[in-house]
Amino acid sequence: MPTVSFVPACTDVAIRDMADMASEIWHEYWPIVLTDEQIDYMVDTMQSFESIKREIREEGYLYWFVLDETGARVGYLSVRPETEDGEQACDIQSGAGKLFVSKVYLRKEERGKHYASRMLDFCEDICRANGLPSMYLHVNKQNEMGIRAYKGRGWHVAEASVSDIGRGFVMDDYIMAKDVPLD
């Protein structure tokens, strides 16, 4: 398995770099499923500098760049701890609830190298270190590669979800979940 490291994105410079990476990845990956118009809209509203900064500063999200063994940025990861009632936790030391795995993205040339497995291992480590017995994520119903990868790591489809995200667009997702043994 590859060695990766995780570097928090906390400064405005890092957040801008992450938004640029997000735009690159989204515009490369999602045309197989989404229209260019929806990709642009989702990048502008959910992956932009302003939206990432808001999620970090106001909504309790944590973001990391994923670096390979040479220190090159190969992708990014975002999570948010939640309390048992689904509200955002004030900090990652919540001790109860679950972890929302918000973003697991890799550059095209880095896929298939098991970096995503290391990213999900990192999420499980966060859960264990903070007493969070489960985690969940949203995956587009047409993202067959992602669904296969998650199922292969013990995730299951918990429910289907269609969310109106504005401007006539929807996110047609599966909510996938995984229990995390805490001992």
172 - beta bridge partners? Answer: 162
- pLDDT band of 183, cuts 50, 70, 90: confident
Section 73-80 average pLDDT: 98
User: What is the 3-class SS of the chain, one letter each residue?
Assistant: CCCCEEEECCCHHHHHHHHHHHHHHHHHHHHHCCCHHHHHHHHHHHCCHHHHHHHHHHCCCEEEEEECCCCCEEEEEEEEEECCCCCECCCCCCCCCEEEEEEEEECHHHCCCCHHHHHHHHHHHHHHHCCCCEEEEEEECCCHHHHHHHHHCCCEEEEEEEEEEECCEEEEEEEEEEECCCC
- The pLDDT value recorded for residue 90 is 45
Q: If you average pLDDT over every residue of the chain, what do you get?
A: 93
> Which of 16-20, 22-26, 96-100, 149-153 comes out lowest in average pLDDT?
96-100
- The pLDDT value recorded for residue 83 is 76
Q: What percent of the chain has pLDDT over 90?
A: 86
- pLDDT at residue 35 is higher than 70: yes
In the Cβ-directed half-sphere of 81, how many Cα atoms lie within 13 Å?
21
pLDDT in tens, 104-119: 999 999 999 999 999 9
Look-up: residue for tokens 């990868």?
A: 149
- The pLDDT value recorded for residue 3 is 92
CB 10 within 8 A of CB 16: no
